[in-house]
Chain A
Amino acid sequence: MVMRKVAIIGAGMTKFGENWESGFREMVTEAGIKALTDSNVKGDEISAGYVGTMASGSLVGQEHVGALIADYMGLNPVPITRVEGACASGSLALRQGILAVASGLHDTVVVGGVEKMTDLDTNAVGRILGGAGDQEWELFMGATFPGLYAMMARRHMHEYGTTEEMLASVAVKNHYNGARNKYAQFQKEITLESALASKVVADPLKVMDCSPITDGAAAVVLAPLDSASSYTKKPIEVMASEQASGTLALHDRDSITSIKASRIASGRAYKKAGLSPKDISVAEVHDCFTIAEIIATEDLGFFSPGEGGRAALEGRTRLEGEIPINTSGGLKATGHPVGATGVKQACEVTWQLRNDAGERQVRDVEHALTHNVGGSGATSVIHIFRRGY
């Protein structure tokens, strides 16, 4: 079966943060309208939609959100389908949209990601996010998500000599980038000293090693690459969309200093795109915790195993470094509305490839990669993009 090439023709997102004045439906509608306006697509040209959200039922009591969005976007009877893969829900929705356009089933597809998280208190949100792990054999025992990543960090330190300074340097870099992103929750630089002095959440991870609780939504519009230029002067081609699964519980992995699903998905994505890690100009990776970014840069092949922490501390992943990571500010500074994150990553690399990223623009961006992880690594989704013009 011959698959069509797919392009992103529009991107848009809400401000990420504690959006108390805005609910689930307002945020997803705002992001959708921004992406559709950016794409120049008319409402009656849209043939399908996919939306990623992890826990709308637990966080705001609302299920059946595909229908809600079709209704409030004024898109009825367009079919809109919800997709869930914990923190990777957004990238899974994007991948479903890509598959739908690539297959020829749908021509113009809108993809959204959204999470409304600040209507509940922190402990309740912590419990709900815990559902991304093994509820009966990790969470019931008292583990938390910071706790699971803390055990990955502890083991990474044990095997490779990674230090708390290396972890903190990831947060410092991401806050620097976030301070240059008008959509970021935290547009404020921090110092290594303040990050190291922040309160312990799950030893060795501190507040400044953790992504925050965030409200937000993001959306992109997809079309066949062949017809993309009739909508926009700057379509972005999807070169690869790959997904892999790993064990749900962290304790069942052969190694907890690497996420095998990310290695497999990125290996397939590089092969599909005909590229190697050296060809990537910028990457948005899943830094739900600082250790996650360090592991991601190793799993994606930018640095060898155990070298990610040192590379971060040396500045090799900064905006002007050899491989700029999380130019948006990442999950750490932009915020992490879980279902929206994967789609936000696609928005950021779209802007980088179009040369529209303002103060945080990286020069000569040719190929961009997104890496979105569900739970402690049970789902990993990789996309690779380039300019389609």
Chain B
Amino acid sequence: MKESISLTWRRIPERYRMVGSRCTACGSHYFPPRQICPSCRRKGKVEPFEFCGRGTIYSFTEIHSPPEGFEKQVPYVMAIVELEEGTRCTGQVVDVHRKDIKIGDKVESVFRRILSDDPEGPIHYGFKFRLKK
């Protein structure tokens, strides 16, 4: 997978610090950020919100057949994480074997390399999760 440098640069707040958004009209949180709150639409007011990165495993899988760019990482665990603030996002869970994870486990975000295009290309960083001790 190749991703443009400008896209990676544009997503730095979201990927490095989990900056999403919050609607001050209804209190809903969104990650990744949205320009419009789907509940309030144009009556809502959306502002940036930094998530704490803690949450619980809502569902998970272990990927054995990877997409391009992830060949060297298999097998790896992916999860939908329910964040403490009340929305969900998708990310890898690191340093864990499939048998040691279950729905409901507590996790926290960590800063990791997601992938690199090729040996001389840019390295794309972002958040992953690990089980909270």
Contacts and interface: CB of A to CB of B under 8 A. Distances in A.
Interface of A: 122-124, 126-127, 130, 136-144, 146-147, 150-152, 154-155, 158, 199-205, 249-252, 256
B113 to A, nearest CB: 11
A196 to B, nearest CB: 16
A199 B71 contact: no
A141 B103 CA distance: 19
Contacts of B70: 142
B90 A138 contact: yes
Given A123-B67, A151-B78, A203 B61 contact: yes
Contacts of B91: 141
A199 B63 CA distance: 12
A19 B56 CA distance: 45
B41 interface: no
Nearest to B81: A251
B64 A137 contact: no
Interface in B44-100: 58-71, 73, 76, 78-80, 87-92, 98
Given A142-B73, A154-B61, A203-B61, A251 B68 contact: no
A143 B128 CA distance: 12
The 10 A-B pairs of least Cβ separation, nearest first, read A150-B61, A151-B59, A251-B88, A203-B62, A155-B59, A127-B68, A127-B67, A201-B65, A202-B61, A251-B80
A151 B61 CA distance: 6
A250 B63 contact: no
A141 B126 contact: yes
A126 B66 CA distance: 8
B59 A203 contact: no
B80 A151 contact: yes
Contact of A136 (B32, B67, B69, B98): B32
Contacts of A130: 67
Given A141-B126, A142-B76, A155-B59, A123 B66 contact: yes
Given A130-B67, A249-B90, A154 B78 contact: no
A142 B3 CA distance: 13
A160 to B, nearest CB: 13
A144 B66 contact: yes
Contacts of A136: 7, 11, 32
B110 interface: no
A158 B65 contact: no
A200 B61 CA distance: 11
Given A142-B114, A202-B61, A202-B62, A137 B103 contact: no
A124 B87 CA distance: 31
B32 A256 contact: no
A256 B81 CA distance: 13
Contact of B78 (A142, A201, A204): A142
Measured as residues with beta carbon below 8 angstroms from the partner, the interface class of chain B is 35 or more
Tell me if A's interface is mostly helix, strand, loop or mixed.
Answer: helix
B71 A158 contact: no
22 contacts: A123-B66, A124-B68, A126-B67, A130-B67, A136-B11, A136-B32, A138-B90, A140-B114, A144-B63, A151-B61, A151-B78, A154-B59, A154-B60, A155-B59, A155-B103, A202-B61, A202-B64, A202-B65, A202-B78, A205-B61, A251-B89, A256-B80
B38 to A, nearest CB: 8
A144 B65 contact: yes
Contacts of B64: 199-203
Given A199-B64, A251-B89, 18 more contacts: A123-B66, A123-B71, A124-B68, A136-B11, A138-B90, A140-B124, A140-B126, A141-B91, A142-B63, A142-B70, A142-B92, A147-B61, A155-B103, A200-B62, A200-B64, A202-B61, A251-B58, A252-B88
B28 to A, nearest CB: 11
A141 B59 contact: no
A158 B101 CA distance: 13
Interface in B96-128: 98, 103, 114-115, 124, 126
A56 B6 CA distance: 26
Contact of A250 (B66, B90, B115): B90
B103 A202 contact: no
B60 to A, nearest CB: 6
Contacts of B90: 137-138, 141, 143, 249-251
Contacts of A139: 1, 67
A154 B80 CA distance: 11
Contacts of A142: 63, 66-67, 70, 73, 76, 78, 92, 114-115
Contact of A137 (B61, B65, B68, B89): B89
Nearest to B7: A136
Contacts of A251: 58, 80, 88-90
